[in-house]
Amino acid sequence: MAKNNLYNKITSKFTFNQPKSSPNLKKNNLNSQDKKNYQNINNENFSKSTIKNSQQETQESNSSKTYIEPSLQSYKELKIIIKNRRSIRQFTPYKPPYKIIFEILETCFYAPRAGNVMNSEIIIIEETSKKVTISNLCYQQSWIAQAPYIIVITSSKDDIQKLYPDISQRFSTQNTSAVIENFLLLIHSAGFASCWVQSFQEEVLKDYLGIPPNLEIHGIFPVGFAKEIPQKPINPDINMKISYEEYGNKNKQ
Ligand SMILES: Cc1cc2nc3c(=O)[nH]c(=O)nc-3n(C[C@H](O)[C@H](O)[C@H](O)COP(=O)(O)O)c2cc1C
């Protein structure tokens, strides 16, 4: 497949709900065109094509012939995505199509990983009563249950431990955090919203969801469409964070 065609194939699905700036911070949900687009996507036969297409995209993008070169355009778009992603704690009743959620989950695993070990796993929860229980177990953060999906991301250090016994906890955490950042950025870039929730009664929640004792819950992620416009992020003073040649030297030669 020609480079441009592949690029279009991958990106066209996502253009329907991406305003030029602030992707998912649109006030009050979806306009009628957005709704139509989501409906169309929902109507596609998920089981028939999604997994196959995803694998095909990967093979095509791995092949030197169809490699999609990063471009100034993709750099600019990614910068906007990163800078505009915010934690959202109010959701509309509209449900993002599962097909896109699945694609996002599949894609977020393309993250760097210590020992090349994929030690993260995901549970998707849609049932209302379960969402309420989970929000209660997150110390009564009741807004969590509003979201159409709750996605639980777990990590296990078992496989990493075999390779790096002394540092497995850190590697396990770092691997899963890289997956999570991919996830949050993809969610935002598709026009959806989420928030990394880490305050919960872990042992009770693990028991409730049948999560084996050797796994850790790495985060709870309510996912839906934003119903709030969050405040602008505080600009980090990057000069305070960068040193040159040695720690603490703020003077660039
Ligand atoms: C490890 C971690 C745990 C967090 N836990 C919670 C939480 O339990 N509840 C919540 O509302 N937000 C939680 N957050 C979201 C942060 O409050 C939020 O990312 C931070 O205030 C920066 O805002 P922003 O994400 O909008 O840029 C958590 C974030 C991280 C990275």
DSSP string, 95-153: ---HHHHHHHHHHHT-S--GGG---EEEEEE--HHHHHHHHHHTTS-GGGGGSSEEEEE
Residue whose CA is at the smallest distance from ligand 1 atom 18: 87
- Ligand 1 atom closest to Cα of residue 138: 8
Q: Ligand 1: distance of its center to the CA of 211 in Å?
A: 23
pTM of the model: 0.81
Q: Ligand 1: distance of its center to the CA of 44 in Å?
A: 34
Pocket test for ligand 1, best of 140, 197, 232 (most atoms within 8 A of CB): 197
Structure tokens at 181: 């950042």
Q: What are the φ and ψ backbone dihedral angles of 85, each rounded to 5 degrees? A: -65, 130
In sequence order, what are the beta bridge partners of 124? 151
- Would you write out the chain's pLDDT as a tens digit for each of its 253 residues? 333 333 233 333 333 343 333 334 343 444 454 444 444 444 433 433 444 555 566 555 555 556 678 889 999 999 999 999 999 999 999 999 999 999 999 999 999 999 999 999 999 999 999 999 999 999 999 999 999 999 999 999 999 999 999 999 999 999 999 999 999 999 999 999 999 999 999 999 999 999 999 999 999 999 999 999 998 888 889 999 999 999 999 999 9
Q: Ligand 1: distance of its center to the CA of 13 in Å?
A: 29
Residue whose CA is at the smallest distance from ligand 1 atom 6: 197
Pocket test for ligand 1, best of 198, 216, 229, 231 (most atoms within 8 A of CB): 198
Domains parsed from the chain with CATH numbers: 3-229 (3.40.109.10)
Whose CA is closest to 2, among 71, 48, 60, 85? 60
Residues within a 6 A CB radius of ligand 1: 86-87, 89, 141, 195-199, 230, 233
